[in-house]
Amino acid sequence: MAKITITTAVVLIFFLLLELAGTYLASPLNCTDRKIYIRRLPIRYNKVLAVSCSRYSPLTINLCPYLHNSGLGPKVHDRFRSWHRTHHHLIEKFFHRRVQDYPCLIGDPKQANAIFLPYYIGLDSLRFLYGDGWNSSVQHGMDLFNYLLKNNAEIWRRNGGSDHFLISGRSSWDFSRPKMKLDWGTSFLELPEFFNVTVLTPESRRWSWQEQAIPYMTSFHPKNVAEFYKWVNMTEKMDRTSLMLFVKSSTDVDSSDEDVADILSQKILKECRTNSGLCTLVDCTGKKCEDEPKSYIHSLLHSKFCLHPPGISPTTRQIFDGIIAGCIPVFFDEMTSSFQYKWHLKFPEKNVDQQLLSTFSVFISEKDVVEETVTVLDVLTKIGEKEVNLMRKELKKRVFGVMYRSHKASPELKEMKDAFDLAIDGVFQRIKTRQNH
């Protein structure tokens, strides 16, 4: 009798727990073909690098404050729950955290569809870029490679590394120094040892085999569906009194460099200054906009178009700040747009499609502006109000896919695919395609 009661109680508790799980867990992800194994690495490849965050300051800024909240950075203000002081180079720690929370993790590497390498490559590269490792920067990565082959080598050998992936907070240019050349950067992406590994990066090279560009982190990291929609709904209702906005992020813009990108930026700067009623100029030099995003975001919300000429490199985090604020991006170089974020901007289509891109962005040829056959103002004033509204609607559809929700998000929000989820989808797809070759 007692036995039956206990059994009944156990069964009851079991169903009760199931019920609870049902209310707290997002609808279960189908884990078939989506299993990730996190490779165990010594802490010198991640944790130690994170705690050494001030090591190269003042050569680089002190990164420590930005590593709070799993890499999202401290809150901007208690009242703005979704906004953080986020440093876009520090995605490595945050991404690692998100992989650790991924619902289809597996303990047996043999059953995994993808192997994540929790290596903070951008943080590690600081010793080569700013520290005493500069004269061995062509060796960057060899130590990790040797580790992977000396420990549980079968994990690597099974697919020659082609099922491995890692995340970089820094762009590919920082890792593609040719071995024989004395130049900026390390040679990680030039090492044949890592050719099979998928490297996610905020900016890829033009034709690359290893890396895929994924969005920069912005300051917006909502925790629930209401917070998210409250924000995007607001961006739609803004009174956008400024036609265009230009962010001055590098002090170089005022210099008299001969580089085409510099000439372009100078032309745009001049246009902006002479039409100050139509153009908002924002100063983001230093870390002003990351540290105090409020006034910068305010400007984005009041502008129709955001100009994104290539700066020190073709892409910037500001493209994504703008998209999130409903500011239609204006591109001048294909390297800023169609060569970069195809997993994130082009869905559902797989390939780069200029026509699709033009439904939510404007392209003005760099050459035309530099040679003064057009002005940015001319092109943008010709776009009618109706078309602008249509573009903003298209843009709004992409906001969730380019931002990184908080790792502490509600179950409902977790069901929507953010930039992290789309990156993981892309990784699986890519690994599968390569293995079928």
Ligand X SMILES: *[C@@H]1O[C@H](CO)[C@@H](O)[C@H](O)[C@H]1NC(C)=O
Residues that bind ligand X (CB under 6 A): 30, 32-33, 135-136, 160-162, 193, 196, 226, 229-230, 233
Rama region for 160: left / alpha / beta (φ>0; ψ in -120 to 50; rest): left
Amino acid identity, position 349? E
Q: Name the residue with the smallest CB distance to ligand X.
A: 160
Q: Report in angstroms how near the CB of residue 153 gets to ligand X at its nearest.
A: 10
Would you tell me how many other CB atoms lie within 10 Å of the CB of residue 296? 22
Transcribe 107-162 into DSSP letters: S-GGG-SEEE----HHHHHHHHHTSTTGGGGGGTTHHHHHHHHHSSHHHHHTTTTT
What 3-state class would DSSP assign to 213?
Answer: strand
Smaller CB distance to ligand X: residue 5 or 27?
27
CA dist 275 and 245 (Å) reads: 11
Transcribe 268-305 into DSSP letters: HHHHHHHTTTTEEEEE--TTHHHH-HHHHHHHHHTEEE
Smaller CB distance to ligand X: residue 104 or 282?
104
Smaller CB distance to ligand X: residue 5 or 32?
32
Smaller CB distance to ligand X: residue 161 or 185?
161
CA dist 245 and 23 (Å) reads: 44
Q: Report in angstroms how near the CB of residue 236 gets to ligand X at its nearest.
A: 8
Instruction: List the beta bridge partners of residue 115.
Output: 37, 164
Q: Report in angstroms how near the CB of residue 284 gets to ligand X at its nearest.
A: 29
Q: Report in angstroms how near the CB of residue 159 gets to ligand X at its nearest.
A: 7
List C-alpha distances in Å: 259 to 181, 249, 255, 262.
21, 17, 11, 5
Smaller CB distance to ligand X: residue 160 or 411?
160
Smaller CB distance to ligand X: residue 256 or 436?
436
Q: Report in angstroms how near the CB of residue 300 gets to ligand X at its nearest.
A: 19
What 3-state class would DSSP assign to 201?
Answer: strand
Smaller CB distance to ligand X: residue 137 or 299?
137
Q: Report in angstroms how near the CB of residue 140 gets to ligand X at its nearest.
A: 13
Q: Report in angstroms how near the CB of residue 113 gets to ligand X at its nearest.
A: 11
